Amino acid sequence: MKMRVYGFGWNPEFAPKAVLPAAVFERITEVPGREFGSHLAAVTKLGDWWGGLLLKIRDARKFTRLRKEDGVLVLSAHELENDERLAETNFFVAHESNGHGLYCHHYLSASLLGDFGYYCSSRFAEMVKARKEKRLEEDPKLPTAHRNAFRGRLVLEQILKPGSFDNYVRELRQINTLEANLVTFKLTNRHFAPLAMQAKRKKIILGFDPNAHMGQIASAIVECRHDGLIDKAKVVGKDQSGREQTYRTNNDAALFGEYEYDDVVANLSVRFDDMEGSIRRSDLIARLLETANDPKVKRLLGI
């Protein structure tokens, strides 16, 4: 079984102005080892990076095992001890500047967009609420503009290879917006011509009617990118389950790594009375940091 590394970032359009997305990892340091639903997480500072782990705890008390007895395959059920629980482990690193980073995942563990995104956004919401309440205690007459600066939420977006980006866009049930840099374009309105000549980059943001033909929109986005008309595209929409998703692509180096699950687990040791130390000593965290510090990867993460 493979453990794969994915890149992630936080969509700044949805985040509150008063709290930076990377602050979510400060919140996790306040609740290390504390269960949140079926999840448990911990982080520690490693230079300019946060290193962390996310556990997905399963509520099943029994599991099945397949083994060969006298040349015959036998499937049998086994029950955990009272103080034992099944858990899957994910490791990640995130840069202190913007919170973007790498997440190591296998198909049975906590997913990036679902589990990791949900856990972080929930912890972030707790922190934003607490900071807003503190400001209001300090200044009960806080101006509306300052109160509104706390409005927002943490939205995870996955950084993808160009080919993966195309597939994800085509699978979206609804496409809300496209944001992209224009590589080549011609302005027909004379009033914009002087601005276009001086602009360092030219970006478009298109919004689409929910009743529009999504297949045609997805195909047009992919064709524009393949024809070299746009780059650094970002699409916001809803997947088949109705969950909001944000995908973006960059034509720089691929971000993904791949490890053998058995090799990683063989050296896995996490003590909950020393979670920070366990993260610091983790071989997988060291691998992720090595990858994340590659100059091409850092550019892809916006660092």
Residue 116 amino acid letter: F
Give the CA angle between residues 292, 296, 298 to the nearest 5°: 45
The three-class DSSP label of residue 270 is coil
User: How many other CB atoms are found less than 10 A from the CB of residue 70?
Assistant: 5
Q: By the 8 A CB rule, do 222 and 202 touch?
A: no
Q: Is the pLDDT of residue 254 over 60?
A: no
The overall pTM is greater than 0.75:
no
Tell me what pLDDT residue 81 has. Answer: 78
The 10s digit of each residue's pLDDT in 125-166 is 998 998 899 888 888 888 888 888 888 888 888 887 656 778
Greater model confidence, 264 or 197: 264
Give the separation between CA 238 and CA 244, rounded to whole angstroms: 4
The three-class DSSP label of residue 147 is helix
Tell me what pLDDT residue 251 has. Answer: 42
Greater model confidence, 117 or 11: 117
Greater model confidence, 76 or 53: 53
